[in-house]
Amino acid sequence: MALMQIAEPGQSPDPHKKTLVLGIDLGTTHSLIASVKNGTPVCLESADGEKLMPSIVHYTESAVEVGVQTEKTKGVDVLSIASIKRFIGRSAKEVQQLLEAFPVDYEWDFTDAAVPKVKTPQGLKTPVEISAEILKTLKKRAVQHFGVDEINSQNADSFKVVITVPAYFDDAQRQATQDAARLAGLSVLRLINEPTAASLAYGVEQDGTYLVYDFGGGTFDCSLIELNGDVYEVVATAGDTFLGGDDIDHALSEWFLATHLDGKKTKNLRSILKDAKERLSSQESVSVMDFTITRNDLTQVMEPILARTYKCIQRLLQDGRKSVKEVNQVLLVGGSTRSPQVFDGITAICQQQPRNDVNPDEVVALGALAQARKMTSKDVNHLLLDVCPLSLGLETMGGIVEKIIPRNTPIPVTKEQIFTTMKNNQSALKLHVVQGERESVEDCRSLAQFELRDIPPMAAGVARIKVRFDMDANGVLKVSAEELSTHHVASIDVKPSQGLSEEQLLEVLQAGQASAGEDINARLDKGARIELQRIIESCDHAFAEDASLLEDADQAAFAEQLKQAKALAEDAAATREDLKAMRESLNAVSEKLAALRMDKAIQDALKGTYI
């Protein structure tokens, strides 16, 4: 059984600690999980030999099943939830709007405007919880493949994953995806964008510019990527979160209803036509309920949908300051690119034949795995530089958006801007963080609101309020504000209403565990100890290598803290709170060394460069 073991260089891996490195494509219609098996990166199969797992969650009163439903006992009420990805990280209002375009046959509860829930036989479930079920099932698949033992499979640290999200996913959707992974007991190394992942899996090696066209079941994404040696640089990205193969199915059924059935609804029409659509990829015409649909009919139905994707490509090229002639290759990703209509359309728009030689279903998961391997190994050298897909800004007077981070800014990024008060003696400032390209707040997506209070009395325009936006490499945002004369600080993780707090997460976990009859406390204790051990290892390594960067006094303090931490980690009587507090103090002590090591890394990287 090939298990990847991870250890800091120069240290022997703990034989009891087994870590799986995984790539997950959490798709709207299908999901996949990839790992290295016998030295080869592969998508893992289910017991039935299927790699693609339908992203459908079935709830009965007593069980949850994902993918193909097996339990079909008579009299058992089953609720099947498909395409939950469309709704993850969205508010009640947004879900209601979406439902108009994509009606579903299950009911929602909108009591909580921030966190809409689905009514299931097991009570109300959030989209995050439902997505977590999909991830749990994929995780189980990995456990079965690699024979992970009971103890390790309980520990999130044993599952290092990179999960892909559409490039166009906004902050709330990314946060929600991360929450779902935490709920499923996975440790997320990074969220990466689907088109970026795809380009990693296509294994492009020649330096140049690549355009990735990712047309899946529910979303459309495109990215312009420059490869230069080992560096993948995402130059620009564009897309549409509400555009996918589902829309083609929807448009096709509308067309069929109007032209052949006089608007008379028929059961299962959509899936019948979906099947017809797929057959039209290889046949010139197919018959559906005594009628004939030709490929040309389908082309006409698809035309306006594909036109929207071409528009995204135009914007992409403009943002990336490239002409279509400068694109070396076009890479196709996503099931919807199997249509000959897409192939022909792209050939015309991009003035070259696109590549479609990697299985479009598997390419994203394999790319996620490639990134996960890179991040857990010292031997793989590629660097992935990604961008922020949507502009981020603040509401100012009159509902106008002041952009702080423009779209396609390389991440991680920190931007600061000074604002002031509008009224004399204004004591509070409301900050409204929004995302989107439009000028007016109403047309953008609201991410969070918070207040900076206790501003000292000053004349209008005198107070200087520094607002800081921090976006990390996952595309997750943090905003803080500081009044500069008093240094009064207010800050917020832009974890919009939909996000789970640590307590909520614990609550959900507890609820789930209680039914499984496990001792949640023991599990949390163990987790806290492992966390502390992990940070000790890492600090030990940093200290051994670079202690000389610190002044003597700091060195001594670091060594002492490390010693205490080691003692506590061995102390069986240490409580969870003790372990957590120790982890925090060790972390605080190590901050100085961490920063000095970064300076050193830069010096080393540029050493002897007279290029």
Partner 1 sequence: MNNPFILFQLKPAPDLRTQEGDILPLDVLKARYTKVQAACHPDSFAMASEAQQKAASEMSSRLNQAYKMLRDDLSRVKTWLALLGLEIENQTTKPDMDLFELQMDLEERLAAVAAGDESQKATLIQDIESIKAQALDWFVSLAQNTPDTIEDVDTCLNQYSKLALSSRLEQRLYSM
Segment lying near partner 1 (by CB under 8 A), choices 120-128, 148-156, 268-276, 410-418: 410-418
Q: Does 591 bind partner 1 (CB under 8 A)?
A: yes
Q: Does 523 bind partner 1 (CB under 8 A)?
A: no
The two structure tokens encoding residue 429: 């400032």
Segments of 5-95 assigned E as strands? 20-26, 30-37, 40-43, 53-54, 56-59, 64-66, 79-82
Q: Does 470 bind partner 1 (CB under 8 A)?
A: yes
Residue 510 and residue 122: Cα distance in Å, rounded? 16
Residue 277 and residue 158: Cα distance in Å, rounded? 42
Q: Does 400 bind partner 1 (CB under 8 A)?
A: no
Q: Does 601 bind partner 1 (CB under 8 A)?
A: yes
55 to 94: interface string for partner 1, x by CB under 8 A: ----------------------------------------
Q: Does 375 bind partner 1 (CB under 8 A)?
A: yes
**Contacts of 412 by beta carbon, 8 Å cutoff, 6+ apart:** 470, 471, 472, 473
Q: Which is nearer to partner 1, 299 or 587 (CB)?
A: 587
Q: Does 4 bind partner 1 (CB under 8 A)?
A: no
Span 355-374, contacts to partner 1 by CB under 8 A: 371, 374
Rounded to a whole number of angstroms, the minimum distance from the CB of residue 594 to partner 1 is 4
Residue of the chain from 1, 47, 516, 605 that contacts partner 1 (CB under 8 A): 605
Segment lying near partner 1 (by CB under 8 A), choices 74-82, 376-384, 439-447, 511-519: 376-384
**Single-letter amino acid, residue 64:** V
Neighbours of 147 (CB within 10 A): 11
> Which residues sit opposite 433 in a β-bridge?
394, 448
Q: Are 464 and 455 in contact (CB under 8 A)?
A: no
**Contacts of 62 by beta carbon, 8 Å cutoff, 6+ apart:** none
Quickly list DSSP for 162-198: EEEE-TT--HHHHHHHHHHHHHTT-EEEEEEEHHHHH
Q: Does 461 bind partner 1 (CB under 8 A)?
A: no
Q: Does 412 bind partner 1 (CB under 8 A)?
A: yes
Rounded to a whole number of angstroms, the minimum distance from the CB of residue 43 to partner 1 is 22
Q: Are 166 and 241 in contact (CB under 8 A)?
A: yes
Residue of the chain from 90, 190, 250, 407 that contacts partner 1 (CB under 8 A): 190
Rounded to a whole number of angstroms, the minimum distance from the CB of residue 136 to partner 1 is 23
Cα–Cα nearest to 1, from 18, 17, 13: 18
Neighbours of 70 (CB within 10 A): 8
Segment lying near partner 1 (by CB under 8 A), choices 40-48, 193-201, 240-248, 599-607: 599-607
Interface with partner 1 (CB under 8 A): 6, 8, 160, 189-190, 228-231, 233, 318, 321, 371, 374-376, 381, 383-385, 409-415, 470, 472-473, 534-535, 538-539, 542, 586-588, 590-591, 593-595, 597-599, 601-602, 604-606, 609-611
